[in-house]
């Protein structure tokens, strides 16, 4: 079976670091790419990425070291140097990403001398100069951020997930991340007013409009670009992990089962775990040997049900009979691990998202 072909019984199994890895040539078109799949490669991603062939990755999801953070554990990059440090890496990422692929960069600027530093904004501009498209910005709202207060600002409850692509047309499977409309709709849609029955144009002249009647009988809605997810609270043997639900959401949105996901700053292996759960292949790079070992241990030990297992148990609409997942058919409500985002709230649907797309 080719790596692109996944069935419900497919399992992503961690494989060993290729023994001839260090002697492999850089950027070889003839390289046996299979040798890299489902491995945690130990090394500096500035070197390791050069060994990957062109156009081989469907999605990159990563959280690089933030500027000047965790100098004692894995080294921070000075904010003023951040763009110069990251751009050569971004160029390699662009080379290995398929033209239809996406790059999700989880990052947040730190505050220096009482104000937010501008290196993330400068990085976006520099990446655009290098040919990336800054397609979207998702916000990760950290539902359980630390309590606290600073003299000049409030608690930091969100991080950026910048979405870059190589071209305007890219792979996106919006159906895979739809959310249930929520119980609020029963009360809201029971008695429709006259306004609800016609297209109501925005009173703030935004050009958007909505027709509430269209929502009757709808079960599913598309989410917004704000992802409400709790941070990782349990000890993962790493000081800066993101929750599995974060990479998992982007993996389901931008790849199909069997797709290939790269995390060049793999840390404790969270992206690889998300791939294992959703039946995607991964390539992980991490320069800290202890983190690599922790990630491998976690991957070997994670024998929980995959998304496929869940769908097989809960879906009765024909997917099971073919043994394949069709990402275009409606999904049942997934457990939190796979879902990552909560239900669409009434205010979100009815006001701020006036042109909300709703689907059955
Ligand atoms: C913010 S952490 C990533 C955490 C990860 N998302 C997780 O959930 O565990 C960044 C990681 O990048 C690694 N790192 C830093 N510079 C690197 C480099 N040049 N090449 C590879 N890994 C690097 C660090 O050791 C650290 O584990």
Per-position pLDDT tens, the chain of length 360: 344 445 444 678 888 877 777 777 777 666 677 778 999 999 999 999 999 999 999 999 999 998 776 555 556 789 999 999 999 999 999 999 999 999 999 999 988 888 999 999 999 999 999 999 999 999 999 988 777 778 888 888 999 999 999 999 999 999 999 988 877 777 777 787 888 778 877 667 667 777 778 777 778 889 999 999 988 666 556 667 899 999 999 999 999 999 999 999 999 999 999 999 999 999 999 999 999 999 999 998 765 555 555 555 544 333 333 333 344 333 333 444 333 333 333 334 333 333 334 444
For the domain made up of 41-181+218-346, give the CATH fold: Rossmann fold (3.40.50)
Q: Is 238 in the pocket of ligand 1 (CB under 6 A)?
A: yes
Strands of 92-153, DSSP E: 97-107, 111-112, 115-116, 133-142
Domain ranges of the chain: 41-181+218-346
What atom in ligand 1 is closest to the CA of residue 266?
5
What atom in ligand 1 is closest to the CA of residue 44?
20
Distance CA 107, CA 79 (A): 12
Residue of 265, 289, 296 best suited for mutating to test ligand 1, as the one with most atoms within 8 Å of CB: 265
Residue nearest to atom 19 of ligand 1 (CA): 44
Q: Whole-model pTM?
A: 0.81
Distance CA 132, CA 3 (A): 28
Residue with tokens 């959280």: 63
CA of 312 to the centre of ligand 1 (A): 35
Helix (H), strand (E) at residue 125: helix 119-129
Q: Is 340 in the pocket of ligand 1 (CB under 6 A)?
A: no
Distance CA 161, CA 229 (A): 13
Is residue 273 classed as helix, strand or coil in its secondary structure?
helix
Q: Residue 161: which residues within 8 A CB-CB, separation 6 or more?
A: 104, 105, 106, 137, 138, 139, 140, 227, 246, 250
Distance CA 249, CA 235 (A): 22
The 8-class DSSP code of residue 67 comes to: B
Distance CA 245, CA 271 (A): 9
Q: Which two tokens stand for residue 315?
A: 């879906």
Is residue 278 classed as helix, strand or coil in its secondary structure?
helix
CA of 115 to the centre of ligand 1 (A): 26
Distance CA 238, CA 296 (A): 13
Decide if 261 contacts 58 (C-beta within 8 A): yes
CA atoms within 13 A of residue 170's CA, in its CB half-sphere: 25
CA of 239 to the centre of ligand 1 (A): 10
Residue nearest to atom 13 of ligand 1 (CA): 265
């Amino acid at each position: 079976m080719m790596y692109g072909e996944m069935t419900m019984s497919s399992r992503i199994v961690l494989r060993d670091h290729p023994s001839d890895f260090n002697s492999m040539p850089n950027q070889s078109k003839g390289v046996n790419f299979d040798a890299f799949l489902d491995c945690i490669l130990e090394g500096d991603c500035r070197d390791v990425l050069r060994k990957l062939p062109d156009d081989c990755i469907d999605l990159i999801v990563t959280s690089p070291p933030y500027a000047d953070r965790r100098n004692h554990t894995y080294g921070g990059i000075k904010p003023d140097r951040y763009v110069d440090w990251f751009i050569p890496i971004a160029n390699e990422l662009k080379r290995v990403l398929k033209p239809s692929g996406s790059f999700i960069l989880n990052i947040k600027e730190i505050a220096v001398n009482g104000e937010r530093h501008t290196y993330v904004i400068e990085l976006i501009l520099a990446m655009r100069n290098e040919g990336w498209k800054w397609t979207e910005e998702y916000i990760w709202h950290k539902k359980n951020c630390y309590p606290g207060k600073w003299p000049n600002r409030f608690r930091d409850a969100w991080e950026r997930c910048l979405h870059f692509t190589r071209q305007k047309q890219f792979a996106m499977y919006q159906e895979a991340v739809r959310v249930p409309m929520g119980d609020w709709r029963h009360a809201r849609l029971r008695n429709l007013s006259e306004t609800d029955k016609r297209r109501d144009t925005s009173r703030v002249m935004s050009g958007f409009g909505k027709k509430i009647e269209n929502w009757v009988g709808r079960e599913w809605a598309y989410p917004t670009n704000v992802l409400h997810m709790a941070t990782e609270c349990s000890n993962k043997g790493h000081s800066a992990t993101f929750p599995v639900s974060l990479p998992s959401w982007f993996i389901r949105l931008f790849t199909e089962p069997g797709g290939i996901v790269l995390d060049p700053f793999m840390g404790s292996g969270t992206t690889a775990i998300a791939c294992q759960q959703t039946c995607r292949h991964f390539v992980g790079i991490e320069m800290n040997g202890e983190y690599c070992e922790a990630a491998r241990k976690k991957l070997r030990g994670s024998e929980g049900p995959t998304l496929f297992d869940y769908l097989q148990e809960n879906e009765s609409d024909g997917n099971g009979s073919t043994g394949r997942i069709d990402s275009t058919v409606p999904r049942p409500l997934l457990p939190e691990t796979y879902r990552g985002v909560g239900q669409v709230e009434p205010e979100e649907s009815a006001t701020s998202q006036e042109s909300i797309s709703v689907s059955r």
